[in-house]
Structure 1
Amino acid sequence: MPSDTKARIQAVARELFAEQGVRNTSLRQISDRLGITKPALYYHFASREDLVRSIVQPLIDDHDRFVTARGPGDPRELLEDYFEMIWRHRQVFVMVLNDLATLGQLDLTDRLFDWRRRLVGLLLGADVTQEQRIRATVALGGMSDCTVEYAGLPIEEVKPTAVHAAAAALGL
């Protein structure tokens, strides 16, 4: 478990990265907002890339666990659980979308496509038509977009509509 200072650094960095983008946020801005010295920040994180990776890694770990640990089951339940998982990481999604170069720096692009492919298999099985794949892209991408677009709303206002729309896009 991260130390309190490390967790505070990550929280402030996540906020600034989401507001300004990763490349537009300096470690000086992060340390200034926290009221700590830049060397104190370097004590916890060797570089900005190390800090970014520490913020994105829980999202990666949760996605990996989600697609690995799940078996085929009720598609609507899977959509609901998936939405809750990505909702927990909505600030990271905002951060990454504000600075798409982060995807490349962390080798996330291939992972995202792999997660999506595995989720489609869990939702629709192995024998999927092109039309079903397209519907799944709309469904899963739409739910992800909702976590960014409506990040400031309570989950209770977003999840039911997002899951219902995703299920409709899948033809469920």
Structure 2
Amino acid sequence: MKRDTKARIIDATIYLLATNPLEPITLEKIASQVGISKPAIYRHFSSKDELLKNVDETFLADAYVLFDTLDPNRENDPAYLMETFTEALLPLKMHLSFLSHLIIARQINLASFLQRLFSDPSGNNSNICLLYRSSVYFFFALPGLTYYGLQKETIKPIVHTILDWYSHGLGISPAIDDQIWQKGFVAPEEIVEDRFLIAMNKVASKYELTGLTIQRIATELHLASSSLYYSFPTKEALVRETAKKEQQQFLRILDNKVSQARNVSEALQILFCTSGSYLAQRPQLGIQFNTLSSLRNDEIPDEFIHLRTWNDEFSSIRERAGHLSRFLAIAPQINVFSKSTNPSDWMKYSKNLFRFFSSGCTTEEI
């Protein structure tokens, strides 16, 4: 019975982290999800930190076990790899969401895992190519596995779609016009800073997202906790409101920039440049808010009419291309800014991902 309860606690924690990756997790929430009391958790884990360590170890062990079932003679067959991996994830619906949580929300390096699954048989295994291939996979596979009840018989068509994006992209010219690209740059004075986001980012940098508390945020702001509770009944409400403001600012700037575009290629160049230059100036938590919003395929609000128009135009060329373009335009920040302080890195990644999105990752890199 103890082992069953321990496993249920770990499963509940994975579920909560996967479905609410940027909201602070508490033992109270976990206990409620399992249907036990908070003190009962301490019979299995001495602290929340020990529980989270066990969750990471359980997930990674389960993930790597998936590779044990592979036919070693077919490990260079990307269709076989993705179909087998995705099928193995069907009974573990939340594990793929949790994988994205580890990469995006907690910046855990899973490069070796991703390289084995998304390596390019043709030999282009640069970080940028790997980022494109893994991002396209997550974009198409994650919603089906997590929310839409993906069935075994629908895996092949999804994998076929993913592989076609690898080979052909949107099917337009990957050429970059530097004058058009420059129209997407975001100047620092175009960005309005949010003191709550800055304070939360400092706390999350020190204690991780799971360590966000009203007390710590208030201390960073030099305020009493009661003053924050006056405006926000819970820390989750504060996180949600701060995330919404950051996402709205990003969409507003994107909408303004893409209004200058005259055709699909120009709109895409501006989209990728604006996303890269804006997020290069944002704190890590702001990047995470926008990344997870784009991965969830959130609808663009009606007020951002230019962005909605181009989103629909992209999707008229290839189904869901509008949402995918916004996610890929953000993707370089996941890979680069947790590891690099070179301000020019975002441009290299953004330009190459624009080229891959346009015509596939067989396109020569810049």
The TM-score with structure 1 as length reference comes to 0.68
Alpha-carbon contact 1:10-1:51 (below 8 Å) kept: yes
- The within-5 A match list for 1:1-172 is 3-21=3-21, 24-67=24-67, 70=70, 71-73=72-74, 74-95=77-98, 97=100, 103-104=106-107, 108-109=108-109, 112-121=110-119, 124=121, 128-129=123-124, 134=129, 137-150=131-144, 151-156=146-151, 158-171=154-167
Change (3 A) 1:56 1:102: farther
In the alignment, what sits opposite 2:361?
A: none
What RMSD in Å do the two structures reach over aligned CA positions?
3.6
Question: What is the rounded CA distance, in whole Å, between the counterparts of 1:17 and 1:120 in structure 2?
Answer: 24
Question: What is the rounded CA distance, in whole Å, between the counterparts of 1:63 and 1:167 in structure 2?
Answer: 22
Alpha-carbon contact 1:146-1:162 (below 8 Å) kept: yes
Which whole-Å deviations, capped at 9, do the CAs of 1:3-34 have from their partners, x for residues lacking one?
A: 22112222333333334337612102222444
**Secondary structure of 2:147's aligned partner:** coil
Q: CA deviation at 1:58?
A: 3.7
- Report the AA paired with residue 16 of structure 1: L
Looking at both structures, which has the greater relative contact order when contacts are Cα pairs under 8 Å and sequence separation is at least 6?
Answer: 1
Alpha-carbon contact 2:141-2:158 (below 8 Å) kept: no
**Greater share of helix residues, 1 or 2?**
1
Percent of pairs with identical residues? 20
Which whole-Å deviations, capped at 9, do the CAs of 1:74-109 have from their partners, x for residues lacking one?
A: 4322221122234444413434545767634xxx31
Question: What is the rounded CA distance, in whole Å, between the counterparts of 1:160 and 1:88 in structure 2?
Answer: 17
Which whole-Å deviations, capped at 9, do the CAs of 1:22-66 have from their partners, x for residues lacking one?
A: 761210222244443322201112222332333343431243344
Alpha-carbon contact 1:18-1:91 (below 8 Å) kept: yes
Change (3 A) 1:161 1:46: farther
Change (3 A) 1:130 1:40: closer
Change (3 A) 1:99 1:163: closer
The TM-score with structure 2 as length reference comes to 0.37
**Secondary structure of 2:135's aligned partner:** helix
Change (3 A) 1:3 1:163: same
| Bigger CA radius of gyration | 2
Alpha-carbon contact 2:140-2:158 (below 8 Å) kept: yes
**Secondary structure of 2:43's aligned partner:** helix
Question: What is the rounded CA distance, in whole Å, between the counterparts of 2:3 and 2:9 in structure 1?
Answer: 10
Alpha-carbon contact 1:10-1:55 (below 8 Å) kept: yes
In the alignment, what sits opposite 2:254?
A: none
Question: What is the rounded CA distance, in whole Å, between the counterparts of 2:150 and 2:45 in structure 1?
Answer: 32
**Secondary structure of 2:46's aligned partner:** coil
Q: Give the unaligned 5+ runs of structure 1.
A: none
